[in-house]
């Protein structure tokens, strides 16, 4: 059954046609696995572990029928019904709201997926049309994500590396109903806080890590991830919960140096800047490196995070940094599944991170501990 779901979720037109043609999706939803028992799902595209995506999809995000089915079906069956979670979330007060905060959060996510489905479903239709034409693509849409409001089979936008909404706003502008709150200070009262975030995408802090996994650095178990849903609330944090507050700016501005009788300053007086990194759900301090870069005749000063940013230490252990090995920041508790942020090619991290992957650099050399490091130090060339 999972291979069928993987095919539907693959964004591969041929695989999507195989699993959905002839009304198989609706039949599957109505009768169960016997509706797809005779399908040949032996191809690589159905494995679900490795997927092929375009550069723009990795950067901006892409629609997922698998994620959409989970959120959409729950919203249709449990949230948007008489005496369902929507009405309970709207009428609760005080601690009663905290007791059902996870259900309310999931219902809000489900509502946003249903609201944006017309756009995300259109993206899938375009991908399908490139292989089979507009007419067949419209039929595919009717048999799949157009069933969103009736059956919960929606297309949920998954975040990309550069855009966490999962949507390409250059093609379709966002609806005001789907936009969350972003608050940045102007710096008029304190010029050291120019453009610092106080609220980002509707939240002021994110539950990031728990301190009850023991002393051995490891990945959380599925049971621990599921249990986190019950108590991982920064509005009422437990003793073992680490919440990461929204802090820092968007890394586009620093405090102005001003001009004197001889013109603008030749050197920067600000040696560091805090940036809020949404992908990592925390702030990252950028330090002035002393390096100058010429860009079209303009001298730029390079700021960079420290090399030991993702190395486990007494200070950042509370955030889970370097779990299970140095070089990664786990996001498992904020995403709900095993996910990490790292430097490109896992630089400055444990070289065992390179053992299970094969990364070929632009010069044709395979990234490995031997090719990238000399006596533990990163090679410069």
pTM above 0.85, yes or no: no
Average pLDDT over residues 123-140: 96
Q: Is the pLDDT assigned to residue 146 strictly greater than 90?
A: yes
Among residues 306, 199, 195, the alpha carbon closest in space to that of 251 is found at 195
The pLDDT score that the predictor gives to residue 260 is 65
Q: Is the pLDDT assigned to residue 293 strictly greater than 80?
A: yes
Q: Is the pLDDT assigned to residue 214 strictly greater than 70?
A: yes
The pLDDT score that the predictor gives to residue 199 is 93
Among residues 116, 156, 124, 165, the alpha carbon closest in space to that of 16 is found at 124
The pLDDT score that the predictor gives to residue 49 is 66
Average pLDDT of the chain is 87
Question: Number of helices (H) and strands (E), helices first, in the chain?
Answer: 13, 15
The pLDDT score that the predictor gives to residue 381 is 62
How many whole angstroms separate alpha carbon 290 and alpha carbon 303?
8
Q: Is the pLDDT assigned to residue 220 strictly greater than 80?
A: yes
String of b and e for 3-16 (b: at least 16 CB within 10 Å)?
Answer: bbbbbbbbbbbebb
Residue 337 token pair:
């599944």
Report DSSP state, residue 173.
Answer: P
Residue with tokens 């797809």: 36
């Amino acid at each position: 059954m999972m291979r069928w779901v993987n095919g539907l979720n693959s964004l591969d037109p041929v695989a999507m046609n195989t699993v959905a043609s002839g009304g198989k999706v609706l039949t599957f939803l109505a009768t169960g696995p016997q509706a797809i028992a005779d399908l040949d799902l032996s191809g690589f595209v159905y494995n679900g572990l490795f997927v092929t995506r375009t550069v723009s999809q990795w950067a901006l995000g892409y629609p997922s029928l698998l994620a959409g089915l989970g959120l959409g079906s729950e919203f249709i069956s449990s949230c948007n019904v008489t005496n369902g979670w929507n009405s309970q979330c709207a009428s609760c007060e005080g601690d009663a709201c905290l007791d059902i905060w996870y259900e309310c959060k999931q219902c809000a996510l489900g509502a946003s997926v249903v609201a944006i489905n017309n756009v995300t479903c259109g993206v899938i239709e375009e991908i399908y049309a490139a292989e089979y034409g507009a007419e067949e693509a419209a039929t595919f849409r009717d048999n799949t994500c157009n069933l969103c409001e009736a059956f919960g089979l929606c297309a949920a936008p998954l975040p990309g590396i550069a855009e966490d909404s999962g949507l390409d706003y250059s093609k379709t502008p966002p609806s005001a109903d789907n936009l969350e709150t972003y608050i940045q200070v102007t710096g008029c009262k304190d010029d050291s806080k120019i453009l610092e975030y106080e609220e980002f995408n509707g939240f002021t802090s994110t539950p990031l890590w728990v301190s009850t996994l023991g002393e051995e650095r490891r990945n959380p178990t599925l049971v621990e991830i599921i249990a986190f849903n019950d108590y991982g609330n920064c509005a009422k944090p437990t003793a073992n919960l680490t919440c990461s507050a929204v802090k820092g700016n968007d890394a586009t501005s620093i405090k102005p140096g001003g001009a004197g009788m001889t013109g603008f300053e030749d050197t920067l007086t600000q040696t560091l800047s805090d940036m809020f990194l949404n992908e990592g759900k925390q702030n990252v301090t950028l330090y002035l490196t002393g390096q100058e870069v010429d860009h079209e005749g303009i001298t730029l000063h390079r700021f960079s995070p420290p090399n030991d940013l993702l190395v486990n230490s007494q200070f950042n252990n509370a955030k889970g940094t370097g779990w299970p090995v140095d070089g990664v920041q786990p996001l498992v508790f904020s995403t709900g599944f095993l996910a990490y942020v790292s430097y490109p090619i896992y630089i400055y991290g444990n070289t065992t991170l390179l053992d299970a992957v094969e990364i070929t650099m632009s010069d044709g050399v395979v990234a490995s501990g031997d090719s990238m490091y000399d006596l533990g130090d990163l090679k410069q060339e």
